[in-house]
Chain A
Amino acid sequence: MMNNVITKNGLILAGFALCVTMIVAITHQGTKEKIAEQEQKQLLKILDQVIDSTSYNNALYKHCVPVLSEQFLGSKEEQRAFVALHNEQPVAIAIETIAPNGYNGNIDLVVGINYQGVVTGVRTLSHQETPGLGDKIEIKKAPWITTFNSKFITKHDDEQWQVKKDGGQFDQFTGATITPRAVVQAVKNTLVYFKRNKETLFMSTARCGESK
């Protein structure tokens, strides 16, 4: 008797689980393409901000090279770099990087660098910095992030690449030094990484999402 009730309830539960899963699966099928499209649009929008879209003529978001460097790109996980070519000639690259030492965890950035090693643009992808203080690294909140434009490094320990408080050329924010310090350092590290791996990055035939 008891067993019967349990079996019956179990079956009903299983039935419901099946139905709900089916509905979710159908919604997923129906929205899958739209979501992929949205994500791609979002990606392109950001890439457009860091690399001038008139300077290249390849499908930038498709030419995606996996990059990995815990020391310079701040993550043990593979990240993406997008290579811009003009008539097959390398023009610029957008590298995803992480500033692991933000005031409140990781700051995800994307850094655009042209072939000569000059920064073409930096954008913050996501962060948890204090609203009103550290969030000035967002282009929406303040133009600070554009101060990186057309900057480059001359040597690996370029002391210009620090916030002013530490003797460098970049402004810190009132009330928030840790955030800009982390961002400056991350951008600089990305430039170092670019300098060291320039040829392999542009030549690489590896593509994101493929197993090594």
Chain B
Amino acid sequence: MNQYAELTWQGLWKNNPGLVQLLGLCPLLAVTSTVTNAIGMSLATIAVMIGSNATVSLIRTWIPKEIRIPIFVMIIAGFVTCVQLLFNAYAYGLYQSLGIFLPLIVTNCIIIGRAEAYASKNTLLPSVYDGFIMGIGFSLVLIILGAIREVLGQGTLFDGAELLLGEWASSLRVEVMQLDHSFLFIMLPPGAFVALGFILAAKNSLNSRMESLVEPQIEADKPQRVRINKVS
């Protein structure tokens, strides 16, 4: 596999930030009550990841090892602030509905994780691509979770899309099913945990099925890949 195909595979499936590394759970669980929120958060995260990976990769040879973390943090914080200002200016409604979670992207471990693990060791293009594809991987989880919660919780899809995309998008709203009462549990954070649990289970079962198809029972004794589980 060439480098980019490998990165894609890693970002979208094998090492998906949301499902395997389990990084960035705080925004993941908090803002995914609707698809629109999930998409807005995705865009912001992808933008910050591309920006921070690119910058870190460009300056990686100049920064002393001892102070790389504070520098990464500063770069990420700078990007997040810029993205926040841009959202505030051009997507005001969404800026309000994402609320505190937009500035909290700073604390999202995926971003510093990728800066440290990948961008600080690789050249510009692969780093940008890594930021992009990891962002996409994270976004897919956000959007799937958002869709599940929005359909079950309030029976709609793309509710409030006009906040993100302008007035024309209000026609995107789909009434999937008519609910007399909204399903409160699924809209609150505990519902997000449960939904994420189901997605994880589905991913793992798909994974083991795929593995048993591709490479039947050779690697049973191999040590497990080390997971990075951080709370963010």
Binding site for B on A (CB under 8 A): 5, 8-9, 12-13, 16-17, 20-21, 23-24, 27-28, 31, 34-35, 38-39, 41-42, 130-133
Report the Cα distance A17→B33, complex, angstroms.
36
Q: Are A12 and B63 in contact (CB under 8 A)?
A: yes
> Please, how many angstroms separate the alpha-carbon atoms of A31 and B83 in the complex?
11
Min CB distance A175 to B, Å, is 9
Minimal beta-carbon separation of B197 from chain A (angstroms): 21
CB distance from A3 to the nearest CB of B (A): 14
Interface residue tally for chain B (C-beta within 8 Å): 28
Q: Which of B64, B81, B90, B153 contacts A27 (CB 8 A)?
A: B81
A9 touches B66 (CB 8 A): yes
Shortest C-beta distance, B108 to chain A (Å), equals 18
B77 touches A35 (CB 8 A): no
Contact between chains at B78 and A24 (CB < 8 Å): yes
Cross-chain contact B74 with A35 (CB below 8 angstroms) = no
Minimum C-beta distance from A129 to chain B (A): 12
- Is the CB–CB distance between A13 and B71 below 8 Å? yes
24 A-B pairs (CB sep. < 8 Å): A5-B66, A8-B64, A9-B64, A12-B63, A12-B71, A13-B70, A13-B74, A20-B77, A24-B81, A24-B82, A27-B81, A27-B85, A27-B86, A31-B85, A35-B85, A38-B88, A38-B92, A42-B92, A130-B184, A131-B187, A131-B188, A132-B154, A132-B183, A132-B187
Q: Which of B66, B74, B92 contacts A20 (CB 8 A)?
A: B74
Contact of B184 among A8, A20, A132 (CB under 8 A): A132
CB distance from A30 to the nearest CB of B (A): 8
Cross-chain contact B81 with A17 (CB below 8 angstroms): no
Q: Measured between alpha carbons, how far is A5 from B67 in the docked complex, in Å?
A: 11
Chain A residue nearest to B184 in the complex (CB): A132
Least CB distance, B130 to chain A, in whole angstroms: 22
Closest chain A CB from B188 CB (angstroms): 7
The 5 tightest CB contacts between A and B, nearest first, are A20-B78, A34-B89, A31-B89, A132-B182, A38-B92
B residues at A contact (CB < 8 Å): 33, 62-64, 66-67, 70-71, 74-75, 77-78, 81-82, 85-86, 88-90, 92, 153-154, 181-184, 187-188
* Complex Cα–Cα for A34 and B86 (A): 9
Contact check: which of B74, B86, B187 meets A31 at CB < 8 Å?
B86
Q: Which of B33, B63, B89, B187 contacts A38 (CB 8 A)?
A: B89
CB-contact partner of B75 in A20, A131, A132, under 8 A = A20
- For the A-B complex, the count of residue pairs with Cβ-Cβ distances under 8 Å equals 64
Question: A182 CA to B81 CA in the complex, in Å?
Answer: 36
List of A residues within 8 angstroms of B33 by Cβ: 131
Residues in A neighbouring B78, C-beta threshold 8 A: 20-21, 23-24
Which residue of A is nearest B72, CB measured?
Answer: A16
Chain B hits for A9, CB < 8 A: 64, 66-67
Bound: A5/B183 CA distance, A: 59
Beyond A21-B78, A35-B88, 7 extra complex contacts between A and B, CB < 8 Å: A9-B67, A12-B62, A12-B64, A12-B67, A28-B85, A31-B89, A131-B187
Question: Which residues of chain B are within 8 angstroms of A133 by Cβ–Cβ distance?
Answer: 184
Instruction: Report chain A residues within 8 Å CB of B154.
Output: 132
* Chain B contacts for A41, CB-based, 8 A: 92
Q: Chain A residues near B82 (CB, 8 Å)?
A: 23-24, 27
Residue of B nearest to A29 (CB): B85
CB of A131 within 8 A of CB of B182, answer yes
Expressed in whole angstroms, the Cα–Cα distance for A62 and B182 within the complex equals 40
Tell me, in angstroms, the Cα distance from A24 to B187 when the chains sit together: 35
- Report the separation of the CA atoms of residues A24 and B74 in the bound assembly, to the nearest whole angstrom: 11
CB distance from A145 to the nearest CB of B (A): 18
What is the minimal beta-carbon distance from B75 to any residue of chain A, in angstroms? 6
Instruction: Given A130-B184, A131-B184, A132-B187, verify A35-B89 contact (CB < 8 Å).
Output: yes
Smallest CB-CB separation from A133: which chain B residue?
B184
CB contacts (< 8 Å) of B85 on chain A: these are: 24, 27-28, 31, 35
Closest CB in chain A relative to B158 CB, distance in Å:
15
Complex: A115 Cα to B44 Cα, angstroms: 46
Report B-chain residues with C-beta under 8 Å of the C-beta of A132: 153-154, 181-184, 187
